[in-house]
Amino acid sequence: MKHPVHPMLVHFPIATWFLATIADIVSLFTNEQIGWIGGVLLVVGTITALLAMTTGLIELGKIDQHSPAIKIANQHMILIMISWSFYAVSLFLRLNGTQLEQPGLLAISFSIAGFIFLCSAGWMEGKLVYEYGVGIYHNKA
Ligand code: HEM
């Protein structure tokens, strides 16, 4: 496929992780089941991120190893993997067997840390696409 699949898939983990962190923070101030919603969003985000990572690795393979963009792409990959790990730990901490429970302070802290790394990875993505033009096809139209 000529069109990169990676940008199509990244919206799912970004949206669900972001909303999960918001739900986690809100759960600090309410006794409602919002913490459970955060857990469901984390499950979706953590799984869809694996699909995004697979397609990201394909895009990474297309970048010239000698181009300056490769360093930024590697930084993007490392930051997103750290983000994934923080979110996965946050999910693990709120699991009781297969049941999702209201997140504790530690689970919420990991969720916030995951979000911080997600934003840092986003900064690198901006550089990759808008500064280095990675993934952009220049046609003659
Ligand atoms: C092994 C992990 C990953 C690698 C190696 C990787 C690599 C890349 C590369 C090479 C690009 C530039 C080419 C393109 O735009 O398609 C890119 C863009 C991007 N990546 Fe990743 N990525 C990974 C995981 C992720 C994940 C999990 C997310 C989301 C949570 C993500 C979000 C993005 C976004 C938003 C862009 C910019 C898309 C655009 O505007 O065109 N990446 N990534």
- What are the domain boundaries of the chain? 6-131
Nearest residue (by CA) to ligand 1, atom 15, is 135
Q: How many CA atoms lie within 13 A of 31 on its CB side?
A: 0
80 lines ligand 1 (CB under 6 A): yes
Which is nearest to 62 in space by CA: 140, 122, 4?
4
Model confidence pLDDT, tens digit, residues 40-76: 999 999 999 999 999 999 999 999 999 999 999 999 9
Spans of the chain below 70 pLDDT: 1-2, 137-141
Query: What pTM value is reported for the model?
Result: 0.93
40 lines ligand 1 (CB under 6 A): no
